[in-house]
Amino acid sequence: MSDNLLQVIKDNAKSAKLPPGLEEADIKRMYEGMVMIRAYDERQKKLQRSGRIGFCVTSTGEEAVQVGTAHALQENDWVFPYYRQYGVLLYRGVPMEVLSNHLYGNETDLAKGRQMPAHYTHKDTKFVSFSSVIGTHLIHAVGCAMAAKYRRDNCAVVTYIGDGGTSSNDFHSSLTFAGVYKPPVVLFIVNNQYAISLPVDKQCGAETLHLKGAGYGVPAVRVDGNDVFAVYQAAKEAYGRARSGEGPTLVELLTYRAGPHSSSDDPTRYRGNESDQWQSKDPIERAKRFMQQLGIWSEEYEQEIWEQARFKINTATNESEKYPEPSWASMFDDVYAEMPPALAAQRDEFLEKEAGLDRANEGEFPL
């Protein structure tokens, strides 16, 4: 890794001291936050493989990105995520059920069963709904930050994009607007080395992705994204710049997508053995070593937090499974503030003619 890469964890050190601004309790909380994400991913995979949920996106290997950036957030801050930042939701204290209800797309899902799993939305924590189109949400974050600046509100607007997303139209429009208007926005490039099957060296001809900031006049830094304390430090500094009116920051977080793109992807088709070398850079293992260096980690502690995490997750997913799917009528809601008459007519006609004509069993023709 290059010399200008921000790192806090020294993997081979015998001892360590607390990073600036972090207490022992913070270290533990961050570690537990990462464990929670990994345990959630374990559960998601099982549910998907057994057919209990239709689809899932995991973020194995990218836990430090989520927890490091989340730990520095304040209550007023906004988050414009993509698929692999649900750990931010958990870290901000959103109940596990909120996430698991979305996995099931049941009647209590905040997205009302309208989006594929992994498209979380949560207004109370300013975690903004996103689409599956890559890059489009970045400019929303920039616009949101422009609005916050107009309102003289003290907050940071945080957004994330993958390495593939840096090629999208709206990466360009976002950096253009961010550079010109200097709103309080922090853009994280989560460089996990792959956009589905395409490796980053075939995604972009530049040596690093953070170089892209310079062309737009947006200050940029490059951080070891598997070092949760380095991520935190970079995030804290960037959010601070945002909140104090110093404008946008682009932060490239170097990490590795240890799992597939999604449950529909098979990485053996395009990936060699290089994942082996990343195993040693597993963000959870590295944080654990750091805690060992600090003398605040034990086997009992490890076992306890994993058990707690799994219990919490299993309880929530079991509960989510009990809820029915959203009502058929609800499919027509929320297209407009008030339903137009022609849409209401479509709904009423459909319900009148087809109520009870279920399609639960494939091939069955109920008429």
Partner 1 sequence: MAQMTLLQAVNNGLATEMERDDRVIVFGEDVGVNGGVFRATEGLQAKFGEERAFSTPLTETGIVGAAIGMAVYGLKPVPEIQFADFIYPAFDQIVSELAKFRYRSGGEFTTPVVIRTPYGGGIRGGLYHSQSPEAYFAHTPGLKVVIPSTPYDAKGLLADAIRGEDPVIFMEPKKIYRSAKGEVPEADYTVPIGPARVVQEGTDLSIFCYGAMVEACTVAAEKAKEKEGLSIEIIDLRTLYPVDEEAILKSVKKTGRALIVYEAPKTCGYGAEIAALIAEKAIEYLEAPVKRVGGFDIPFPYTLEKIYVPDAIRIFLGIQEVMDFK
Please choose, out of 63-71, 117-125, 229-237, 290-298, the segment that lies near partner 1 by the rule CB under 8 A. 117-125
Name which of 13 and 180 has its Cβ closer to partner 1. 180
Name which of 138 and 190 has its Cβ closer to partner 1. 138
Q: Name the one residue in this structure whose structure tokens are 């087809």.
A: 354
In the chain, the N- to C-terminal Cα span, in Å, equals 65
Among 44, 59, 66, 115, interactor with partner 1 by CB under 8 A: 115
Helix count and strand count (H, E) for the chain: 11, 7
Which tokens go with 57? 């996106």
Name which of 58 and 108 has its Cβ closer to partner 1. 108
Name which of 91 and 216 has its Cβ closer to partner 1. 216
**How are strands ordered across the β-sheet holding 220-224?**
78-80, 157-162, 185-191, 249-254, 220-224
| Alpha carbon separation from 32 to 35, 73, 234, 258 (Å, rounded) | 5, 17, 20, 19
User: What H or E segment, with its residue span, contains residue 252?
Assistant: strand 249-254
Segment 159 to 178, residues that bind partner 1, using CB under 8 A: 169-170, 172-174, 176-177
Does 109 participate in binding partner 1 (rule CB under 8 A)?
Answer: yes
User: How many other C-beta atoms are found inside a 10 Å radius of the C-beta of residue 284?
Assistant: 19
How many residues touch partner 1 under the rule CB under 8 A: the total is 48
Name which of 272 and 341 has its Cβ closer to partner 1. 341
- In the complex, least distance from residue 145 CB atom to partner 1, rounded to whole angstroms: 7
Among 13, 206, 329, 335, interactor with partner 1 by CB under 8 A: 335
Check 119, 122, 140, 261 and give the catalytic one.
261
Please choose, out of 26-34, 125-133, 201-209, 269-277, the segment that lies near partner 1 by the rule CB under 8 A. 125-133
Indicate the residue type of 168.
S
Which tokens go with 90? 């958990």
Burial class of residue 181 (count of CB atoms within 10 Å of its CB; 0-12, 13-18, 19+): middle
Q: How far is CA 16 from the centre of its chain?
A: 29
Check 257, 289, 310, 359 and give the catalytic one.
257
Q: Is-catalytic flag, 83?
A: no
Residues near partner 1, by CB under 8 A: 78, 80, 109-112, 114-115, 119, 121-123, 128-129, 131, 133, 136-148, 150-151, 169-170, 172-174, 176-177, 180, 333-337, 340-343
Q: Would you name the residues annotated as active-site residues?
A: 257, 261, 270
